[in-house]
């Protein structure tokens, strides 16, 4: 029997971010998996009345299945800390830093990880940015600093498309990042409680592994494990564990890389609350290790705690 057997488990999903639809799918899948393991589960849409709803149901532990702002960025984690409700995933500070790509890149560099060249622009500056301001010319990747699921991300190949991409990224919270476009294998590593579970390689039918490729069945090929040499696999898993520790993560996380032709893994970001839908990567990697989805969800739940 799991640690939280017989306790009231609140699965927090939905929320108020641009990734609400993904979170709804994640929450439903996780709630069904936990229920199948015999746990007393209630789905709770994380709105402005979240504290009242948690108190009303007598929640004893929270499985956080949120993505994006207000759920993955430390806000909900702070609420749960103040309410004394143990929760899954990373704590307040780790979540906030992991959500902010500018801050996390600084920690990755300090930890000795390889990064693509990048520049950061405040939203007030993007209207005047030209190709000459980019870190490595065109093509370049433009993204908002504080969103996930590839929301607001653009691969810009032509100078005429740069202004529109920057303006779109600036619609979201935080700064805008222009990053060197790297050619290589798109590889993710799942990390659970500090240990790399394995790798997956994505080969999307689209330009890159964007929102549509992530959540539309059939639009991407997946290879578990990634098609890497044993030496490169060991390095990318080691780098994923290093990134996890650098941010102070807890629970399950997913670390995203581009692996260049020479075998160098360039880290993109750490997702402190990875997707857990039917097309999500952490469940695929766990399955490759012989961990069924319901067991994975319960293992994540077993790690729930107060962090601060």
Task: Give the burial string for 43-53 (b: 16+ CB within 10 Å, else e).
Answer: bbbbeeebeeb
pLDDT at 130 over 60: yes
217 CB-contact burial (10 Å; exposed 0-12 / middle 13-18 / buried 19+):
exposed
- Kindly state whether residues 163 and 202 are assigned to the same domain: no
Q: Determine whether 308 is an active site residue.
A: no
Set 17, 94, 95, 271: catalytic member: 271
- Kindly state whether residues 271 and 172 are assigned to the same domain: no
- Which pLDDT tens digit goes with each residue over 151-180? 789 999 999 999 999 999 999 888 999 999
Bridge pairing between strands 40-45 and 265-271: unpaired
- Which pLDDT tens digit goes with each residue over 15-26? 998 889 999 999
Set 17, 19, 68, 148: catalytic member: 19
Predicted TM-score (pTM) of this structure: 0.93
Domain count, the chain: 3
Contact predicate 145/120, CB 8 Å: yes
Q: Determine whether 149 is an active site residue.
A: yes
Residue 2 placed within a domain: no
Q: Determine whether 256 is an active site residue.
A: yes
Q: What is the CATH number of the domain that holds 46?
A: 3.40.50.20
pLDDT at 211 over 60: no
Bridge pairing between strands 154-156 and 195-204: unpaired
Residue 162 placed within a domain: yes
- Kindly state whether residues 166 and 232 are assigned to the same domain: no
Set 20, 69, 235, 254: catalytic member: 254
Set 211, 256, 266, 280: catalytic member: 256
> Which residues span the domain enclosing 23?
8-88
Contact predicate 145/174, CB 8 Å: yes
Q: Determine whether 222 is an active site residue.
A: no
Least confident of 140-154, 174-188, 259-273, 286-300: 140-154
- Kindly state whether residues 242 and 196 are assigned to the same domain: yes
Residue 3 placed within a domain: no
Set 23, 90, 94, 149: catalytic member: 149
- Kindly state whether residues 80 and 193 are assigned to the same domain: no
Give the whole-angstrom CA distance, residue 71 versus residue 166. 25
- Which pLDDT tens digit goes with each residue over 251-287? 999 999 999 999 999 999 999 999 998 779 999 999 9
Residue 108 placed within a domain: yes
CA 156 to chain centre: 23
- Kindly state whether residues 221 and 176 are assigned to the same domain: no
- Kindly state whether residues 189 and 256 are assigned to the same domain: yes
pLDDT at 298 over 80: yes
Q: What is the CATH number of the domain that holds 150?
A: 3.30.1490.20
β-pair partners for 177: 120, 143
Q: Determine whether 124 is an active site residue.
A: no
Would you place residue 33 in the very low, low, confident or very high pLDDT band (cuts 50, 70, 90)? very high
Q: What is the CATH number of the domain that holds 108?
A: 3.30.470.20
- Kindly state whether residues 171 and 228 are assigned to the same domain: no
Q: What is the pLDDT of residue 61?
A: 98
Rg (CA), the chain: 19
Set 215, 244, 272, 280: catalytic member: 215
pLDDT at 212 over 80: no
- Kindly state whether residues 80 and 13 are assigned to the same domain: yes
Residue 283 placed within a domain: yes
Q: Determine whether 70 is an active site residue.
A: no
Q: What is the pLDDT of residue 205?
A: 75
- Kindly state whether residues 68 and 167 are assigned to the same domain: no
Set 251, 275, 280, 298: catalytic member: 275
Give the whole-angstrom CA distance, residue 45 versus residue 24. 8
Q: What is the pLDDT of residue 11?
A: 98
Give the end of a domain, one of 180, 212, 227.
Answer: 180
Residue scoring higher pLDDT (149 or 88): 88
- Which pLDDT tens digit goes with each residue over 53-109? 999 999 999 999 999 889 999 999 999 999 999 999 999 999 999 999 999 999 999
CA 131 to chain centre: 29
Give the end of a domain, one of 180, 199, 230.
Answer: 180
Residue 227 placed within a domain: yes
Contact predicate 201/194, CB 8 Å: no
Q: What is the pLDDT of residue 152?
A: 84
- Kindly state whether residues 69 and 110 are assigned to the same domain: no
Q: Determine whether 244 is an active site residue.
A: no
Set 100, 210, 241, 269: catalytic member: 269
Give the end of a domain, one of 141, 159, 180.
Answer: 180
Q: What is the pLDDT of residue 19?
A: 87
Residue 1 placed within a domain: no
- Give the residue-averaged pLDDT of 99-124: 97
- Kindly state whether residues 194 and 275 are assigned to the same domain: yes
Residue scoring higher pLDDT (147 or 57): 57
Residue 304 placed within a domain: no
Would you place residue 241 in the very low, low, confident or very high pLDDT band (cuts 50, 70, 90)? very high
């Amino acid at each position: 029997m799991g640690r939280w057997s017989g306790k009231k488990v609140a699965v927090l999903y939905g929320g108020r971010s641009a990734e609400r639809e993904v979170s709804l799918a994640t929450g439903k899948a996780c709630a069904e998996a936990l229920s199948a393991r015999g746990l007393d589960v209630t789905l709770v849409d994380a709105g402005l009345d979240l504290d009242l709803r948690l108190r009303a149901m007598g929640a004893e532990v929270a499985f956080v299945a949120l993505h994006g702002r207000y759920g993955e960025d430390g806000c909900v984690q702070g609420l749960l800390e103040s309410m004394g409700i143990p929760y899954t995933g990373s704590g307040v500070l780790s979540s906030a830093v992991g959500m902010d790509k500018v801050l996390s890149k600084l920690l990755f560099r300090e930890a000795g990880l390889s990064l693509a060249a990048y520049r950061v622009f405040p939203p007030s500056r993007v209207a005047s940015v030209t190709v000459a301001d980019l870190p490595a010319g065109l093509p370049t990747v433009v993204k908002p600093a504080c969103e996930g699921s590839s929301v607001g991300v653009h691969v810009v190949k032509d100078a005429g498309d740069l202004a529109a991409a920057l303006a779109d990224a600036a619609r979201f919270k935080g700064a805008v990042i222009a990053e060197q476009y790297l050619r290589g294998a798109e590889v993710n590593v799942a990390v659970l409680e500090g240990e790399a579970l394995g790798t997956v390689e994505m080969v999307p039918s689209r330009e890159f592994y964007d929102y549509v490729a992530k959540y539309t069945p059939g639009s991407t090929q997946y290879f578990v494990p990634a098609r890497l040499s044993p030496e490169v696999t060991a390095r990318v898993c080691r780098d994923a564990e290093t990134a996890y520790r650098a941010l102070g993560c807890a629970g399950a996380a997913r670390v995203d890389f581009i692996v260049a032709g020479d075998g160098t893994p360039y880290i993109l970001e750490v997702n402190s609350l990875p997707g857990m839908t039917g097309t999500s990567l952490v469940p695929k990697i766990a399955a490759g290790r012989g961990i069924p989805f319901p067991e994975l969800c319960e293992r994540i739940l077993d790690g729930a705690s107060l962090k601060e």
